[in-house]
A and B are shown apart, each in its own frame.
Chain A
Amino acid sequence: MSKIVKLKKGFDLKLVGKAPLEFLQVAAATTFAIKPSDFPGIQRPKVLVNEGDTVKAGTPILMDKAMEQVIYASPVSGEIVEIKRGDKRKLLEIKILADATVTHEKSGALDLGQDRATLAGKLAASGVWPNVIQRPFGIVANPADNPKAIFVSGFDTHPLAPEVPFLLQGEERYFQAGIDALSKLTTGKVHLNVDGSKAVPAIFSGIKNAQVNQFSGPHPAGNVGTQIHHLDPINKGDVAWTVSPFGVAQIGKFVLEGIYDASKVIALTGSEMSQKGYVKTYTGANVSTLLGGIAQPETLRIISGNVLTGEKVEKDGYLGFYHNQVTVIPEGKYEEFLGWLKPSATKLSFHKAIGMFSFLKSGEFKVDTNTHGEERPFVVSGVFEKVMPMDILPTYLFKAIVTEDFDEMEELGLYEVIEEDVALCEFVDPSKNELQELVRHGIELLMYN
């Protein structure tokens, strides 16, 4: 039974700099990197290659000693040029210089008739497995688990997010194969959730082996965490998995062709992005060539991902493993005379406090990275509740994490949220608290205690 869910709570951030649906011609990136910090659950990362080694796309280059069956593979073929470490030899990046044409490790098509464990083992050893994320906690899934269901969100409501059907053009066959493979990994259902406010895109309409549900409403309607809450919520002891649409297609390609293909389409967005649109590249691409000729990059914030959940990268930094978007906006390092009092209709705000007239403006907003105020204790109540379309009391959950009260954290719903689910709370908070960081802190407390 497919479900139709209409959500009211939330907030759509309408920003300047959406990518038009067209491919741009940009110089291909030459270096690529895998960063252990992209995988929050990784505990003891171990590098499997040395500087100077040559690798193919799909060659294992990293693993987590706490979960050895899952490997993290090279996205391209080429040479390992640098293994960058930080303080106390903490592994930061493994950089690969790509060949002109990418060659793949090949293992032949995967027979989906095999038993669950064998299938999961083969996927885990292929490089595609890190696409499978476990809820609770938002970490790379353990192939030995039997999840109660697998969830795929077929649309992205984040600010300036790419159009998912556009990302998957020509991948229809692989997407179906990926869904087929996932359906073998769970005894429960595979849920594919699509945007209920639009016609179901062709790639999702005839899908088999999955339940197609419709979600509509403002952001975070497209967040898989929101969808899980309304379909089959996670309680203590439950394990569910989530996979992005790109991940599903990548798994499908491994099933049908036996290769780890890390090529992906990403969107170049943001008010300061010189050329907006879509480009084809590979996971972990160096962003510098994608940006084109941006003048004065030091006055700009280059973000791998979107403005709510993304991560700042340097101008020669690398695209995050899970990201399919690069956003460039101005840095906001300026003081503004009586900025807290000045009326404005051009500054984006969820609130309508005196002088904030952005709710009257229907167009798009240009935003920068200024925090518009200092951090304060929680004072205003009822704000987070307006942007949280789940039966969760965010303020109480946050306070439970601040006080490190384990029982409360569990009972108030920390199993149901990860960073992206509270990103909107973090944005609207007039007290400017770092709520995504707080939630990850709470999750780590629950995981490692």
Chain B
Amino acid sequence: MKLLQNLFDGMKPNFEKGGKWEKFHTLYEGHRTIAFAPDLITKSKGAQIKDATDLKRVMITVVIAMIPALLFGILNIGHQHFIATGGEATFLDKAIFGALTVLPTLIVSYAVGLATEFTFCVIRNHPISEGYLVTGMLIALVMPPFIPLWQVALATIFAVVIGKEVFGGTGMNILNVAMTARAFLYFAYPAQISGDLVWTYLGDKTAVDGFSGATALAVAYNSSIDGTPVVEALNSHNAALGADYSFMSMFMGWIPGSIGETSTLMALIGAVILVATGVASWKIIVGGFSGAYAMGLVMNALQVNEFMAMPAHYHLVMGGLAFGVVFMATDPVSAAQTEVGKWIYGILIGVLTVIIRVTNPAYPEGIMLAVLFMNVVAPLIDHYVVKANKTRRLQRATV
């Protein structure tokens, strides 16, 4: 490691004040601190020792929690491809096909996002923050299996610049950056990120007869139009091809959808990692799932159409709810930051997701808009929680 240290030391004068690359000092520091935890020591006054955990470790914990979802997503894309196009495929075939489809999106997301981030750090002379480690992965995981890479790049730039940097960078953003990227694409290029055709990547092949690319949510929505019970419609969907939308397949994630969102199981594994390490708030996760379930029960009670009559627990495994609640809603910067606020915020995300799904024909998936909406509302929730705290202390004075 001495070698690498020497390499950095050798470059150092160029980046110091008066050096030829002085402006890029922050990039030098950023890379050096990734290779080596810095040799900074505490000040002479104040805490003389500091906790061994830093933001880099917190962020890498989130990235690790997303890896099961990523790996499953890669495999599932291959799986869905071979179901749709017919033809025998081994595990390896599926994995290779999936990897070749997903990796370009992932690479573009990281490369473009980091380039944007670095540019801002250099312009503003900020240290490079770790936030994009997580965002880069999230952006890739919420993209459809196949999407033009220039769209990924454009959405990433939009999200990083408008979603984060204009507010002052990591820690200052109002909206979840990855959701901002997805919402941008949804409204700017709906053809590539909505409808029935984009969730299964066919490549240069054509789909076999009888194949329908509709997602589970779309199937559920359609059943409320033609009046078939939802569970029946889901169970019989593509059943001839051996790929139904039963509760179990949806829980496991063997269904079409965005790269990382299909598997509730993988999201739950991520949730266990995040909660066990204390990185994400269990209150938001539990609140999100219970809010969705409770709203599902309310819909059952109303039962105006077949979608409303769908068993409430189906909502938890359909679409991106689990992924969104576990990885998006828990982003500490854009979520509510008070402990009571986290409950309210989580529950309302679940409730809103189900309302949007069931009642709004234009957006079959509600989690994206629910999270973004609640990101905007989170400061208001916190405001009232903080106000309650202030009132408590004021009342104390008169006692």
List chain A positions with a Cβ less than 8 A from chain B.
13, 233, 235-236, 301, 303, 307-312, 327, 329, 331-341, 344, 347-356, 358, 367-382, 385, 391-393, 395-396, 411-413, 419, 423, 426-432, 434-437
The residues of B that contact A301 with a CB separation of less than 8 Å are 41, 48
> Is B51's CB under 8 angstroms from A350's CB?
yes
Q: How far is it, in angstroms, between the C-alpha of A371 and the C-alpha of B45 when the chains are bound?
A: 13
The residues of A that contact B396 with a CB separation of less than 8 Å are 233, 235
Q: How far is it, in angstroms, between the C-alpha of A372 and the C-alpha of B332 when the chains are bound?
A: 21
Q: How far is it, in angstroms, between the C-alpha of A307 and the C-alpha of B45 when the chains are bound?
A: 10
Q: How far is it, in angstroms, between the C-alpha of A310 and the C-alpha of B42 when the chains are bound?
A: 12
Asked whether A337 and B277 contact (CB < 8 A) given A353-B53, A371-B41, the answer is no
> Is B41's CB under 8 angstroms from A310's CB?
no
> Top 5 A-B pairs ranked by shortest CB distance?
A373-B54, A339-B37, A377-B171, A347-B52, A312-B44
Which residue from chain A places its CB closest to the CB of B48 in the assembled complex? A307
B17 interface residue, CB < 8 Å from A?
A: no
Q: How far is it, in angstroms, between the C-alpha of A303 and the C-alpha of B396 when the chains are bound?
A: 39
The residues of B that contact A426 with a CB separation of less than 8 Å are 46-47, 50
Q: How far is the CB of B149 from chain A (nearest CB, A)?
A: 29
> Is A372's CB under 8 angstroms from B37's CB?
yes
Asked whether A358 and B47 contact (CB < 8 A) given A335-B37, A336-B36, A377-B172, the answer is no
- Type the 1/0 row for B113-151, where 1 means its CB is closer than 8 Å to any CB of A: 000000000000001011100000000000000000000
Q: How far is it, in angstroms, between the C-alpha of A369 and the C-alpha of B4 when the chains are bound?
A: 24
Q: How far is the CB of B12 from chain A (nearest CB, A)?
A: 12
Contact of B50 among A236, A312, A371 (CB under 8 A): A371
> Is B37's CB under 8 angstroms from A373's CB?
yes
Asked whether A335 and B38 contact (CB < 8 A) given A351-B278, A372-B54, A382-B337, the answer is yes
Which residue from chain B places its CB closest to the CB of A370 in the assembled complex? B41
> Is A335's CB under 8 angstroms from B51's CB?
no
> Is B54's CB under 8 angstroms from A430's CB?
yes
Q: How far is it, in angstroms, between the C-alpha of A233 and the C-alpha of B36 when the chains are bound?
A: 45
Q: How far is it, in angstroms, between the C-alpha of A437 and the C-alpha of B45 when the chains are bound?
A: 8
Which of B35, B47, B389: most chain A CB closer than 10 A? B47
The residues of A that contact B171 with a CB separation of less than 8 Å are 376-379, 431
The residues of B that contact A352 with a CB separation of less than 8 Å are 276-278
> Is B55's CB under 8 angstroms from A380's CB?
yes
> Is A309's CB under 8 angstroms from B47's CB?
yes
Q: How far is it, in angstroms, between the C-alpha of A339 and the C-alpha of B37 when the chains are bound?
A: 5
B338 interface residue, CB < 8 Å from A?
A: yes
B20 interface residue, CB < 8 Å from A?
A: no
Contact of A370 among B50, B55, B58 (CB under 8 A): B50
> Is A427's CB under 8 angstroms from B60's CB?
no
> Is A379's CB under 8 angstroms from B333's CB?
yes
> Is A235's CB under 8 angstroms from B48's CB?
no
> Is B170's CB under 8 angstroms from A379's CB?
yes
Q: How far is it, in angstroms, between the C-alpha of A34 and the C-alpha of B127 when the chains are bound?
A: 40
> Is B57's CB under 8 angstroms from A367's CB?
no
Q: How far is the CB of B167 from chain A (nearest CB, A)?
A: 11
27 chain-A/chain-B pairs, Cβ below 8 angstroms: A13-B49, A235-B393, A311-B45, A312-B45, A329-B49, A331-B41, A332-B41, A332-B42, A340-B57, A341-B60, A353-B53, A355-B57, A369-B49, A370-B50, A371-B38, A376-B54, A376-B55, A378-B171, A381-B335, A393-B338, A411-B394, A423-B46, A427-B47, A428-B51, A431-B171, A434-B43, A436-B47
Contact of A308 among B39, B40, B43, B48 (CB under 8 A): B48
Q: How far is it, in angstroms, between the C-alpha of A423 and the C-alpha of B42 when the chains are bound?
A: 13
The residues of B that contact A413 with a CB separation of less than 8 Å are 393
Q: How far is it, in angstroms, between the C-alpha of A18 and the C-alpha of B32 when the chains are bound?
A: 36
Asked whether A340 and B54 contact (CB < 8 A) given A372-B37, A378-B171, the answer is yes
> Is B389's CB under 8 angstroms from A391's CB?
yes
Which residue from chain A places its CB closest to the CB of B383 in the assembled complex? A396
Q: How far is the CB of B114 from chain A (nearest CB, A)?
A: 17
> Is A341's CB under 8 angstroms from B277's CB?
no
> Is A412's CB under 8 angstroms from B53's CB?
no
Q: How far is it, in angstroms, between the C-alpha of A449 and the C-alpha of B314 when the chains are bound?
A: 59
B339 interface residue, CB < 8 Å from A?
A: yes
> Is B397's CB under 8 angstroms from A340's CB?
no
> Is A372's CB under 8 angstroms from B50's CB?
yes
> Is A369's CB under 8 angstroms from B41's CB?
yes
The residues of B that contact A370 with a CB separation of less than 8 Å are 37, 39-42, 50
> Is A349's CB under 8 angstroms from B46's CB?
no
> Is B170's CB under 8 angstroms from A376's CB?
yes
> Is A380's CB under 8 angstroms from B58's CB?
yes
Q: How far is the CB of B95 from chain A (nearest CB, A)?
A: 25
B360 interface residue, CB < 8 Å from A?
A: no
The residues of B that contact A371 with a CB separation of less than 8 Å are 38, 40-42, 50
> Is A372's CB under 8 angstroms from B53's CB?
yes
> Is B47's CB under 8 angstroms from A335's CB?
no
Q: How far is it, in angstroms, between the C-alpha of A301 and the C-alpha of B127 when the chains are bound?
A: 28
Q: How far is it, in angstroms, between the C-alpha of A411 and the C-alpha of B396 when the chains are bound?
A: 12
> Is B335's CB under 8 angstroms from A356's CB?
no
Which residue from chain A places its CB closest to the CB of B130 in the assembled complex? A376
Q: How far is it, in angstroms, between the C-alpha of A385 and the C-alpha of B340 when the chains are bound?
A: 12
The residues of A that contact B53 with a CB separation of less than 8 Å are 349-351, 353, 356, 372-373, 430
The residues of B that contact A327 with a CB separation of less than 8 Å are 48
The residues of A that contact B335 with a CB separation of less than 8 Å are 381
Could you list 8 further interchain pairs (A-B, Cβ under 8 angstroms) beyond the known A307-B49, A427-B47?
Answer: A307-B48, A335-B39, A339-B36, A340-B37, A371-B40, A373-B37, A380-B279, A429-B50
The residues of A that contact B40 with a CB separation of less than 8 Å are 370-371, 373-374
> Is A396's CB under 8 angstroms from B386's CB?
yes
Q: How far is it, in angstroms, between the C-alpha of A222 and the C-alpha of B56 when the chains are bound?
A: 33
> Is B57's CB under 8 angstroms from A391's CB?
no
Q: How far is it, in angstroms, between the C-alpha of A437 and the C-alpha of B42 when the chains are bound?
A: 12
Which residue from chain A places its CB closest to the CB of B64 in the assembled complex? A354
The residues of B that contact A335 with a CB separation of less than 8 Å are 5, 36-39
Which residues of chain B from 332 to 348 have any CB-CB distance to chain A below 8 Å in the complex? 332-333, 335, 337-339, 342
Which residues of chain B from 342 to 356 have any CB-CB distance to chain A below 8 Å in the complex? 342
- Type the 1/0 row for B311-336, where 1 means its CB is closer than 8 Å to any CB of A: 00000000000000000000011010
B169 interface residue, CB < 8 Å from A?
A: yes
The residues of B that contact A350 with a CB separation of less than 8 Å are 51, 53
B205 interface residue, CB < 8 Å from A?
A: no
Q: How far is it, in angstroms, between the C-alpha of A377 and the C-alpha of B60 when the chains are bound?
A: 17
Which residue from chain B places its CB closest to the CB of A383 in the assembled complex? B278
The residues of B that contact A356 with a CB separation of less than 8 Å are 52-53, 57
Q: How far is it, in angstroms, between the C-alpha of A356 and the C-alpha of B5 when the chains are bound?
A: 25
B31 interface residue, CB < 8 Å from A?
A: no
The residues of A that contact B170 with a CB separation of less than 8 Å are 376-377, 379
Q: How far is the CB of A338 from chain B (nearest CB, A)?
A: 7
- Type the 1/0 row for B145-185, where 1 means its CB is closer than 8 Å to any CB of A: 00000000000000000000000111110000000000000
Q: How far is the CB of B146 from chain A (nearest CB, A)?
A: 32
Q: How far is it, in angstroms, between the C-alpha of A329 and the C-alpha of B50 when the chains are bound?
A: 13
Asked whether A429 and B389 contact (CB < 8 A) given A333-B39, A374-B33, the answer is no
Q: How far is the CB of A233 from chain B (nearest CB, A)?
A: 6
- Type the 1/0 row for B1-33, where 1 means its CB is closer than 8 Å to any CB of A: 100110000000000000000000000000001
Which residues of chain B from 273 to 318 have any CB-CB distance to chain A below 8 Å in the complex? 273, 276-279, 281
The residues of B that contact A354 with a CB separation of less than 8 Å are 57, 60-61, 64, 273, 277
